[in-house]
Amino acid sequence: MTLNGWIQILLFLAAVALVTVPLGRFMAAVFARERTWLDPVLGPIERIIYRLTGVNASHDMRWTEYGLSMLAFSLVSMLGLYALQRLQGVLPFNPQGLPGVAPDLAFNTAASFTTNTNWQAYAGETTMSYLTQMAGLAYQNFMSAAAGIALAIVFIRAIAARERETLGNFWVDMTRATLWVLLPVCLVGALALVSQGVVQNFKPYERVQLVDPQTTTTTDARGQTVAATVTEQVIAQGPVASQEIIKQFGTNGGGFFNANSAHPFENPTPLSNVLAMFAIFAISAGLTATLGQMTQSPRHGWAVWGAMAFLFLAGVTTAYWAEAAGNPLLADTDQQSGAMCPGGNMEGKEARFGIASSVLFATITTDASCGAVNAMHDSFTPLGGLVPLVNMMLGEVIFGGVGAGMYGILIFVVLAVFIAGLMVGRTPEYLGKKIEAFDVQMAMLAVLVVPLVVLVFTGISVVSPAFGTSSIWNPGPHGLTEILYAYTSGAANNGSAFAGLSANTPWYNVTLAASMLVGRFLVIIPMLALAGNLARKNLVPPSLGTFPVTTPLFASLLVGVIVIVGVLTFFPVLSLGPIVEHFLMRAGTTF
Partner 1 sequence: MALTRHLLTAARLTVVTTVLLGLVYPLVVTAVAQVLFPDQANGQLLSRDGVLIGSRIIGQPFTSAGYFYSRPSAAGAGYDAGASSGSNLGPTNKKLIDRVAGDVARLRADAGGTAVPIDLVTTSASGLDPHLSPAAALYQVARVARQRRLPPEDVRQLVEAHIEPRQLGVFGEPVVNVLLLNLALDARAPRPR
Residues numbered 48-77 forming contacts with partner 1, rule: CB under 8 A: 49, 52-55, 65, 68-69, 72-73, 75-77
Shorter beta-carbon distance to partner 1: residue 237 or 295: 237
- Cα distances (Å, whole numbers) of residue 119 to 233, 304, 449: 28, 28, 19
Instruction: Confirm or reject binding of residue 222 to partner 1 (CB under 8 A).
Output: no
* Of the residues 31, 142, 412, 507, which one makes contact with partner 1 according to CB under 8 A: 142
Calpha distance 327→385 (Å, rounded) = 13
* Of the residues 63, 82, 139, 407, which one makes contact with partner 1 according to CB under 8 A: 139
Shorter beta-carbon distance to partner 1: residue 174 or 279: 174
Q: Please tell me whether residue 232 adopts helix, strand or coil conformation.
A: strand
Task: With contacts defined by CB under 8 A, name the span among 339-347, 436-444, 456-464, 557-565 that binds partner 1.
Answer: 339-347
**Which one, of 127, 115, 144, lies nearest residue 86 by Cα?**
127
End-to-end CA distance of the chain: give it in Å, rounded.
28
Calpha distance 81→136 (Å, rounded) = 5
Which parts of 437-496 interact with partner 1 (CB under 8 A)?
A: 473-478
Calpha distance 237→368 (Å, rounded) = 28
- Phi, psi values for residue 381, rounded to 5°: -65, 160
Shorter beta-carbon distance to partner 1: residue 131 or 535: 131
* Of the residues 334, 463, 466, 543, which one makes contact with partner 1 according to CB under 8 A: 334
- Report in angstroms how near the CB of residue 144 gets to partner 1 at its nearest: 12
CA–chain centroid gap for 377, Å, is 15
Instruction: Confirm or reject binding of residue 274 to partner 1 (CB under 8 A).
Output: yes
Characterise 581 by phi-psi region: left (phi > 0), alpha (psi -120 to 50), beta (else). alpha
Q: Are 421 and 428 a contacting pair, CB within 8 Å?
A: yes
Task: With contacts defined by CB under 8 A, name the span among 155-163, 348-356, 457-465, 543-551 that binds partner 1.
Answer: 348-356
Instruction: Confirm or reject binding of residue 575 to partner 1 (CB under 8 A).
Output: no
Contacts with partner 1, 177-216, as mask; x by CB under 8 A:
-x----x--xx--xx--xxxxxxxxxx-xxxxxxxx-x-x
Shorter beta-carbon distance to partner 1: residue 145 or 303: 145
Calpha distance 179→185 (Å, rounded) = 10
Task: With contacts defined by CB under 8 A, name the span among 228-236, 451-459, 540-548, 563-571 that binds partner 1.
Answer: 228-236
Instruction: Confirm or reject binding of residue 160 to partner 1 (CB under 8 A).
Output: no
Task: With contacts defined by CB under 8 A, name the span among 114-122, 283-291, 421-429, 497-505 that binds partner 1.
Answer: 497-505
Calpha distance 397→369 (Å, rounded) = 9
Cross-strand bridge partners of residue 207: 234
Which parts of 379-438 interact with partner 1 (CB under 8 A)?
A: 379-382
Size of residue set near partner 1 by CB under 8 A: 133
**Which one, of 298, 303, 245, lies nearest residue 275 by Cα?**
245
Instruction: Confirm or reject binding of residue 500 to partner 1 (CB under 8 A).
Output: yes
